[in-house]
Structure 1
Amino acid sequence: MTESSTSSSTSKTKPSAWLEFGPLLVFFVAFQILKRRNADEAMLQAAGLFAIVAVIALLISWVKHKSVSPMLILSTVIIAFTAGLAIAFENKTIFYMKPTIVNVMFGAAVIGGVFLNRNVVELLLGGAFEMPRDKWNIIAIRWGLFFFFCAALNEVIWRTQSEDFWVNFKVFGFLPLTLVFTLTQIPFIQKHGKIKDQNSG
């Protein structure tokens, strides 16, 4: 298989970025507009719209690419579930805790995978990098702890800060934080691993 055909195949199966992050931006814009009309109801209304758009994006991704990552499916289910419960019980706390639930589940899955000999990080990146198993386990544990940190951070923020601050951090805080953490792991991967030769085999 040539490099161009491989690239074409990858582009067909990889979901577009807007399908993954578009719903979050819709939530942010909707909240900013709705809070001007009714500040008390804005969060729940925006959460409901967030859930609807997230499900639509998931369906579009499946129809277009015939493939959806398990993490995207899980996060969409949690979005719809927590938003639905929050609206049904008129309780914003349930939706505030959505990032906590997601990050705890991801953290448990990543660290649990190490002990079950199913290293999630290696499964995701092993096609591009070669690295000893114990080094993959270190990376996985670091990611697991990072997810738990994000869960704890979300709890601190929604319990101590304003609704506006939480919304802004949810949309514009977690992603840069994740990117920074990812960059801090690159030296470790460069030291202990190497890029796989895609032309071998």
Structure 2
Amino acid sequence: MDIESNQKESAEMAAEISPLLKMALELGPLLVFFFANARGEWLASRFPVLTEFGGPIFIATGLFMIATAVALTVSWLLTRKLPMMPLISGIVVFVFGALTLWLQNDTFIKMKPTIVNALFGTILLGGLFFGQSLLGYVFNSAFKLTDEGWRKLTLRWGVFFLFLAVLNEAVWRTVSTDTWVAFKVWGTMPITVLFTMAQMPLIMKHSVEPIMKDKP
């Protein structure tokens, strides 16, 4: 009885959060970053302590770090686990955000998406090189695919992450900071959503049908 109770409790603690809340936790910090950069001077006038960060982009960076920490904390409290991708992204946010604020150089926060996406792409493609479809370990609880399906999906996501890394480099090096922030929120996210939706035919084609229980 105790074992069953412990298993039930563990299952409840590890329960998945609702899709809408999950989306809010993932997009929330980005929206905070966008708003704080656009209204940095207004925020500084209302909350003078924010001037310790510096100009609008640095205020946005500081609040982005805080919002990311809050999102990760809420995710942990609700599920008692942290997904690998948001965790790695959060670590890079803290490291490059700290460098941005310390050196008062926004280059570091602009390079953060490049580093994260290049890292994810390299890990996924490197895993395939050694015969491992690592994406399967991340999303295996969400849906089941054949080995071929996981290989194809991992390859596509690996290449897509590298594309995002190159795209971020091209954008932040050629446009203003405000334009880059807007593109990061309103450009990168729609591109990612469209790419994700485009993978549905592959997922459906290689989905593993649930095993039917034997009838008594």
Q: TM-score with structure 2 length normalisation?
A: 0.79
Q: Which of 68, 71, 75 is residue 61 of structure 1 equivalent to?
A: 75
Q: Distance in 2 between matches of 1:123 and 1:14?
A: 19
Seen in structure 2, the aligned counterparts of structure 1 residues 199 and 163 have a Cα distance that, compared at 3 Å, is farther
* Mapping 1:135-174, distance limit 5 Å: 135-174=149-188
- The 3-state SS of whatever aligns with 1:156 is helix
* Mapping 1:1-201, distance limit 5 Å: 9=12, 12-14=15-17, 16-17=21-22, 18-35=24-41, 41-127=55-141, 128-131=143-146, 133-191=147-205, 193-197=206-210
Q: Distance in 1 between matches of 2:203 and 2:175?
A: 36
Q: Distance in 2 between matches of 1:124 and 1:64?
A: 18
Question: Residues 139-190 of structure 1: CA distance to partner in whole angstroms, max 9, x if unpaired?
Answer: 2111111100000000010011121111111111111111111222222333
- The 3-state SS of whatever aligns with 1:97 is helix
CA contact (8 A) 1:13 1:67 kept: no
**Deviation of the 1:21 alpha carbon:** 1.7
Unpaired runs of 5+ residues, structure 1, are none
Q: Distance in 2 between matches of 1:200 and 1:101?
A: 46
Seen in structure 2, the aligned counterparts of structure 1 residues 199 and 171 have a Cα distance that, compared at 3 Å, is farther
Number of residues of Structure 1 aligned to a counterpart in Structure 2? 192
**Counterpart of 2:185 in structure 1: which amino acid?**
V
**Counterpart of 1:14 in structure 2: which amino acid?**
I
Unpaired runs of 5+ residues, structure 2, are 1-7, 45-50
Question: Residues 97-117 of structure 1: CA distance to partner in whole angstroms, max 9, x if unpaired?
Answer: 110001001101111121233
**Deviation of the 1:196 alpha carbon:** 3.1
Q: Distance in 1 between matches of 2:15 and 2:202?
A: 31
Seen in structure 2, the aligned counterparts of structure 1 residues 112 and 96 have a Cα distance that, compared at 3 Å, is same
CA contact (8 A) 1:52 1:80 kept: no
**Counterpart of 1:197 in structure 2: which amino acid?**
P
- The 3-state SS of whatever aligns with 1:129 is coil
Question: Residues 75-105 of structure 1: CA distance to partner in whole angstroms, max 9, x if unpaired?
Answer: 1111111110011111111111110001001
Q: CA RMSD in A?
A: 2.6
Q: TM-score with structure 1 length normalisation?
A: 0.84
Larger radius of gyration: 2
Seen in structure 2, the aligned counterparts of structure 1 residues 189 and 63 have a Cα distance that, compared at 3 Å, is closer
